[in-house]
Amino acid sequence: MARTWFITGASSGLGREMAQQLLARGDRVAGTSRRPEANDDLAREHGDRFVSLTLDVTDVAAIRAVTDEAFRGLGRVDVIVSNAGYGLVGASEELADADIDRQIATNLTGSIQLIRASLPHLRAQKGGRIMQVSSAGGQMAFPYFSLYHATKWGIEGFVEAVAQEVGVFGIDFIIAEPGPTATGFRAGLVHAPKMNAYDATPADEVRRAIETGSFVLTGDAAKTAAAMIAACDSNKPDLRLVLGSGAYTPIVDSLRRRLVEAEAQREIAFSADRD
């Protein structure tokens, strides 16, 4: 049975790959982009099974209006994929205030507001699923990606709490955590102007790895999108979906280190309780 999807950031990356795979199997997709002409080919090829919507996710009023439009035009929406975002990189001291605000508005606030705008519709239809596209960077951190990590760690905490709030309404969540994937994401990174003070530091090592291409993109975009779709199709998926060896290894390593550190502090932790 064909399903209906609402995908933000559907003109590129994993959003585009998901839309193409879903349309190819006969599903309906409403896809957003800041430039609607970027999806003209999908509209031409798939007719009314693809609805192109214009959306800048930094515009909260537009998020609400476009979400309402999608549900109004499509009727029931089975899966919402909150995918729109980008990466701002640089040592934290190198970042400009305006760039910080834009990164948070896009990756964090925009995702929060899309979820909030969707919940009344999902409650009214008595259920649905939201996939929040995060990254391996939602559970671990590299130098040079501090603001990107801040938005991904932030949205994962928000989703984990909201999932507990709305499960009673038949609404569930999947947090997709792909590792470095060949989607064009690297080309879309916004680099802060370099400060000489950070030469030969861990942040500089990551910057040079990106510039030289030695920062390896292990993930395959088509396979990653297919795994995301399969998770959304499953009856009872896990909250988090780890995608690619480039996500699995650093996430598991990070969680193990954190668990060891926390367990070693048991006596200190309990000593802080009231008598």
Best CA proximity match to 207, nearest among 137, 134, 140, 145: 145
- Residue 180 structure tokens: 């470095």
The catalytic residue among 12, 134, 135, 146 is 134
Give catalytic status of residue 152 as yes or no: yes
Burial bucket for residue 210 (CB in 10 Å: 0-12, 13-18, 19+): middle
Phi, psi of 213 (to 5 degrees): 85, 5
Longest dimension (CA), the chain: 70
Which of 82, 135, 144, 152 is catalytic? The answer is 152
Strand 4-7 to 79-82 pairing = parallel
Query: Are the C-beta atoms of 166 and 123 separated by less than 8 Å?
Result: yes
Is residue 148 annotated as a catalytic residue, yes or no? yes
Q: Would you call 234 a catalytic residue per the annotation? A: no
Nearest to 250 by CA among 139, 151, 154: 139
Catalytic residue among 33, 111, 144, 148: 148
Active site residues: 134, 148, 152
